[in-house]
Amino acid sequence: MKKVAKMVRDHFGGIMNAIGLGISNGMLEAKNNCIQRIKRIACGFRNKDRFMTSILFHLGNLDMAVSTL
């Protein structure tokens, strides 16, 4: 109990900011979950560039429609 009380006291400013502003890190956690899923599906990449390309492809919100001029 004392440990929890000390943690709340140490982080009280941040806790009050989160409650007052109504923000959370939910969007960040969702992106992180998607990146971890990409990593599991790939079973390892040859290099960091290919991993980054895969992340950008899946999370970049690209418009994949064919454009006609």
Q: What pLDDT score does 24 carry?
A: 82
For the segment 11-50, what is each residue's pLDDT rounded down to a tens digit?
999 889 888 888 888 888 999 999 899 888 877 777 888 8
Residue 64's identity, in one-letter code, is M
Extents of the domains making up the chain: 25-59
Dihedral sign of CA atoms 56, 57, 59, 60 in order: positive
CA distance 8 to 13: 9
Q: What pLDDT score does 52 carry?
A: 85
Answer yes or no: is pLDDT of 69 > 70: no
